[in-house]
Amino acid sequence: MGRHGLNEISTSGDTGEPEKKFKPIAETYRKFTLAMVMGMMYPNPRTERRRLIYLLIISISFWPVYVMWFYDVFHCLQRLDVDNLTRQLSLGVPIMFCQFKMFLVTILRKKMQNLIEEINADYERYNCMDAGYQAIVMENQKSLLKLEKVWTYMVLATVAAFPLMALYQTTEHHLFKEGQRFMVHDVDVPWLKEQRFESPYFEILFVYMVYIALVLVLCYTAYDGMFFLCIFHACLKMKIISHQLMGALRDHDDVEQMKRNIAVVVEDQCETFRFVDRIREEYEFWLVQVFGLTGIQICMNMYQIITSDGSDIDPRYIIFFVAAILHIYVPCFLVSKLSATAAEVSNSAYCAGWEQLADSGVRRSIAIMIARAQIPVQVQALNMVTFNMELFVSVMQTSYSVFTLLRS
């Protein structure tokens, strides 16, 4: 029966063709991969030259914001202005992180393309499996789509809060107060100073900051969302292995078929471990940045919230604070979920009745699978930082400690 002989084939009608329930990820998650295409992050070889040109244009367009940001940070350090320094760091860090991810996805585009091709191949294979397997895939897809929607809305709300709040405050002051203007993010502009609030400088800077915000939305919904998709797919592969293993040992009479089925499961288990390694290779630099920079963002936003008077608390930094926490929580939670799902393979193997099998070779194979599945599946960044819920707690504790030091 071939590579996946233990799976039944589901067909549609009288055509004899498998029912195509599962499509490539570009179609299944089109609402989110659209952001990847627009963000120059979808590794399509046919558009590689165009994406490189777009990346160069965006990189050049970011230089003005870097100049303004470093200029303001330098003067904050000179004046020991902690309040403005934390405000600039809370926004400057994600902007630089966005640029870093664009270069990263360009350098590692072939590895990402391999991940996408493997996921597409798996979906094609799932179309040929029976209803039990397809129900597992459907449940996994529904959970992933819910997470992607929550993440997309969170990024949109976080980024849109700044231009919308500035627009609201400017309109309110023009209608009911003294006519003060508010920037999307107020930063000292070299050679302009207070002239930045005058026309046409104010309008130019406002539109430019809105453009930066749009790029941030595309970047954070694309590259980060692809990591979630890959981890969910690794969990799915582990669940399929558990289901395959339970089915492989049902027919105790046909020992040769049982051996072939076990060989398929072992091969799938090894391939899944290699898939997790490829995810780590693609995202380990990103994970290091998430570990280091989200701690800074949490601390800076906490300072902006706590040190403000009750009537002057800026809701934008509350939203940003929650988003920074989610930015480190979601990867830690998903990797912990992957480890737990991988460990379930050993439970499935142990409960499959393998000890009653007459063939000693099959019993040894199952015992080896149990032993291998009991080794924790970890995602380490540069062999230094292991992502799990303990890391999330550590980041939160460290951020609070730095915040306490800043207040003192």
How large is the angle between the packed helices 63-79 and 201-248, nearest 10 degrees? 100
pLDDT score of 30: 58
Domain residue limits, the chain: 25-407
The owner of tokens 């809105």 is 210
Give bridge partners of residue 18 from the DSSP assignment. 11
CA end-to-end distance (rounded Å), the chain: 70
pLDDT score of 389: 93
Going by C-alpha positions, the residue among 86, 189, 154, 115 that lies closest to residue 327 is: 154
pTM: 0.86
Q: Phi and psi at residue 179, in whole multiples of 5°? A: 85, 25
Helix (H) or strand (E) segment spanning residue 380: strand 380-381
pLDDT score of 8: 42
In total, the chain counts a number of residues equal to: 408
Instruction: Give DSSP secondary structure letters for 98-133.
Output: HHHHHHHHHHTHHHHHHHHHHHHHHHHHHTTS-HHH
User: Tens digit of pLDDT per residue, the chain (408 long)?
Assistant: 334 444 443 434 444 554 567 777 766 665 555 555 444 566 777 777 877 888 888 889 999 999 998 988 998 888 888 888 888 888 888 888 888 888 888 888 888 888 888 998 898 888 888 888 889 989 988 898 889 889 989 999 999 999 999 898 888 887 777 778 888 888 888 888 778 888 888 899 999 999 999 888 888 888 888 899 899 999 999 999 888 887 777 666 677 777 888 888 888 888 999 999 999 998 999 999 899 888 888 988 888 888 765 556 778 888 999 999 999 999 999 999 999 998 888 887 777 666 777 777 777 877 887 888 888 888 888 888 899 999 999 999 998 888 888 777
pLDDT score of 39: 47
**Helical ranges in 62-200 per DSSP H:** 63-79, 82-107, 109-126, 131-176
Could you give the CA distance from residue 369 to residue 373 in angstroms, rounded to a whole number? 6
CB 343 within 8 A of CB 373: yes
pLDDT score of 394: 93
Q: Phi and psi at residue 62, in whole multiples of 5°? A: -80, -15
Give bridge partners of residue 386 from the DSSP assignment. 380
